[in-house]
Structure 1
């Protein structure tokens, strides 16, 4: 098994290789505006570090979000393209699940919250690092602060809104290494797409894109 994992649903452009037992190579760079520019060089970097070529990959793992429209699609389209070219499966995982797994928290409950912009967070509640107990949601921190009072909060959302989430926990940013390790664990247990927490590799959008056609847009057609 050699899994190539990637996630661009958050400001972190993150890539990792996992051989089914351990992380072989990984690389991450935090830059919310350069997902398309950074992802392929990151893939090339981890392959070179591992001394491998792309055709050695036996499966793709990709974070499906939730996340902002443009950045999220970069990782999903790249994973789908690689999977098609190589003839290998692609396994989708909730981006928040990767952060939860990386936290290592086994005595929950706790929350994972990432930046959704517009003064909102994407969030979900967890029983432990492997078990999500709510669907991912998007809300203003002040609107959910009372509901989540007293719970540790993993991710950048806690650091952006400390008044609502005073108990911030690491990691702040997504890690493809954690995403790959979680996928390898689920595959070893016999999970496939649609089972054991795997999702279709389709973008998880929880609201409309920021860019929209103006309401009074005038269509001009030739006479």
Structure 2
């Protein structure tokens, strides 16, 4: 199964073409640009570059997997809208996954793990995992209000993992292979995917004037 994977839940604009054999994903091509202001400009070129590098055309794709956050409003919706548009144009399913789950999937699965990413406003998005399974979150909190226990390691945003007195797993953003790994069961089942639901966890920074007056 040939899968396009995209994620824009963090400052990293990530795209990749992944071959899924059973439950095992294998990356054929990956593009990552770390620029919180470039999601809209570089995501589609990244996708086309990955397809060309992998020796495929869009019509070869069997499915799309999209990171649904949590993430800031503007960046997150770029990846979700782009992934959904590709899937709709090609008539293939699009599956959404929690982006923090993908980070955890690339970290040590046999440990109690805390995953944190930048939520801005001096806050973090976070979730806890035990043996690779999410047991708490995703939520948004101030780092000082987030008790890292019982986690024994932390992964995620380089600017925030050091705020916790835990060993650091060197996984900062969701990889295309991890996104597909998280979605593997749904992809292999052939069942209709659930609707894409963005995990904003709070209202966007920019609101319309009518909303400001409420």
TM-score normalised by length of structure 2: 0.89
Q: Does 1:122 align with 2:125?
A: yes
Within 2, Cα distance between the matches of 1:2 and 1:216?
A: 43
How many residues are matched? 209
- The residue that corresponds to 2:206 in the other structure is 211
Return the offset for 1:202.
2.0
- What is the correspondence of 1:63-142 to structure 2 with a 5 Å cutoff? 63-103=67-107, 105-129=108-132, 131-142=133-144
What RMSD in Å do the two structures reach over aligned CA positions?
Answer: 2.2
What are the ranges of 5 or more consecutive residues in structure 1 without an aligned counterpart?
A: 219-223
Return the offset for 1:122.
0.3
Return the offset for 1:204.
1.0
Q: Secondary structure at the match of 1:168?
A: coil
The 3 A distance-change label for structure 1 pair 216 and 55 is closer
Q: Which has the higher strand share?
A: 2
- The residue that corresponds to 2:9 in the other structure is 9
TM-score normalised by length of structure 1: 0.85
The 3 A distance-change label for structure 1 pair 214 and 159 is same
- The residue that corresponds to 2:160 in the other structure is 160
CA contact (8 A) 2:161 2:168 kept: no
What are the ranges of 5 or more consecutive residues in structure 2 without an aligned counterpart?
A: none
Return the offset for 1:205.
1.3
Within 1, Cα distance between the matches of 2:138 and 2:126?
A: 6
Return the offset for 1:184.
3.0
- The residue that corresponds to 1:51 in the other structure is 55
The 3 A distance-change label for structure 1 pair 163 and 114 is closer
CA contact (8 A) 1:15 1:177 kept: no
- The residue that corresponds to 1:221 in the other structure is none
CA contact (8 A) 1:8 1:35 kept: yes
Larger Rg: 1
Q: Secondary structure at the match of 1:115?
A: strand
Decide which moves more: 81-90 or 205-214. Answer: 205-214
- The residue that corresponds to 2:171 in the other structure is 171
CA contact (8 A) 2:103 2:155 kept: yes
The 3 A distance-change label for structure 1 pair 192 and 97 is farther
